Amino acid sequence: MFAYGIFKVIYAPREAFKELIQKPRYLGPLLIMVLFIAANVGSFYVLITKTYIEATAPPPEKRDLWTESKTFWRPLNGAECDENLTDHIAGNYYGNRSIMFWVSQSNKITMQLQNISVNCSQGGYAKLYLRVKWTSPNDNPINVSLRVYSGSGSSYRNINSEFSNATPNVWNNLTIPLREGWDGEVNWGNITSLMLEMTWNQPADIKVLVDGLFFGGVYKPYAEGAATALALYAANSFMQFTLRWFFLGGMIYVLTRLFKAKAVWRVVLILAGFALITMFVQALINTAAFSALPKLEYSLGYMGGVKGEAETAYKKILEETWLVNRVYSVAQIITLVWTVVLCAIAVRLAAELPWTTSFLMALIAYLIAIFLESFLMQI
């Protein structure tokens, strides 16, 4: 038998199982395991080559560092600032506070972010993300501007258009393009400071909160530096196959014994391992399906995990991948049915039980094996 009959199980399962009952060998299931791990890791690699994650400054592990501590900020023109622990953005990339600025009886409030170093040149960060909320006054500012600094140079941008739909007492999510549409000369390769200024038409007590300040807009392939992820996925694939193999073989053996049928543990386990050739085939189908995926961009909106925004971003990804997801789901169903059929043939030949009993036993054994495998893999 070629490769110990592992491929004969696909096109001639009855003949293959008959031969295996006569000459059971563990090497066949072990070869199937190796093929499955290789194909599964291959499908994962194809998937991550299609996956791009939006890089941010600060990076995810530091969360929104610059709006977590007031030491990064300098209030100007008589304003004051402090950290607000009760009113802030909640999400994966966000901490547990915002920065609050206030000034009494003024028509303007100015705040400056200092001591940063961000590359916003061509190929660097292309967008600025910022959350702004003002609780007083109750009307909208008549003018909002941003200024970025690098050394002695600076560049200015009016962002009134970004505030056209802004609302008092609500966190307003701003996305501001960098480089283009700015006035003045600045070294975009090293932005060291940023200043936000808001102006109202008459003096009032002004209170403004800022949160979630990130530079972004550049996507990096997830496959870069993914060697550790691939190794972990290989280990996970090994555990997946091993658990399913032993649970499937064990359940078939227990059920055949309950039916008072003759069964040899070694033979049952080997037949169950050969039946799992379907896992290898499914991994190949997944690889082909993933290769048809478009470039998948996981934005800050999705990765940040803010309620509402993450769902919207995820919906966009689902729309881009609906066909591949459909193929993946159909492949799972086909694999389940195919595996049950192979197990039923194996039970019929090894335990000499009726076809109806063999199919029922195979279905119960496989479903329990999947359940136990999933349970243990999640622990």
Look at residue 296 and tell me whether its pLDDT is greater than 90: yes
Look at residue 370 and tell me whether its pLDDT is greater than 60: yes
Read off the pLDDT of residues 317-327 as tens digits, 9 standing for 90 and up: 999 999 999 99
Among 138, 359, 364, residue whose Cα is nearest residue 254: 364
Q: What distance in Å separates the CA atoms of residue 15 and residue 18, rounded to the nearest whole number?
A: 5
Read off the pLDDT of residues 226-238 as tens digits, 9 standing for 90 and up: 889 999 999 999 9
Per-domain boundaries in the chain: 2-53+221-378, 56-219
Look at residue 379 and tell me whether its pLDDT is greater than 90: no
pLDDT band at 33; cut points 50, 70, 90: very high
Instruction: Say what the pLDDT of residue 226 is.
Output: 83
> What are the distances in angstroms from CA 277 to CA 5, 179, 184, 273, 373?
11, 55, 65, 7, 17
What dihedral angle (degrees, nearest 10) is formed by the CA atoms of 370, 373, 378, 379? 150
Amino acid identity for residue 309 in this structure: E
pLDDT band at 165; cut points 50, 70, 90: confident
Q: What distance in Å separates the CA atoms of residue 293 and residue 261, rounded to the nearest whole number?
A: 48
pLDDT band at 308; cut points 50, 70, 90: confident
Q: What is the mean pLDDT of residues 68-75?
A: 95
Q: What one-character-per-residue DSSP string does 247-266 give?
A: HHHHHHHHHHHHTT----HH
Which CATH number fits the domain 56-219, given the four candidates 2.40.240.20, 3.30.450.30, 2.60.120.260, 3.40.1350.10? 2.60.120.260
Averaged pLDDT of the chain: 93
Look at residue 274 and tell me whether its pLDDT is greater than 90: yes
Look at residue 1 and tell me whether its pLDDT is greater than 60: no
Look at residue 259 and tell me whether its pLDDT is greater than 90: no
pTM of the complete model: 0.83
Instruction: Say what the pLDDT of residue 359 is.
Output: 96
pLDDT band at 2; cut points 50, 70, 90: very low
Instruction: Say what the pLDDT of residue 224 is.
Output: 81
Contact in structure between 178 and 125 (CB atoms under 8 Å)? yes
Instruction: Say what the pLDDT of residue 3 is.
Output: 53
pLDDT band at 264; cut points 50, 70, 90: confident
User: Strands, DSSP E only, in the chain?
Assistant: 51-57, 73-76, 80-84, 98-113, 127-136, 143-150, 153-158, 172-177, 193-221, 296-298
Instruction: Say what the pLDDT of residue 297 is.
Output: 93
Read off the pLDDT of residues 330-352 as tens digits, 9 standing for 90 and up: 999 999 999 999 999 999 999 88
Radius of gyration of the chain (CA): 30
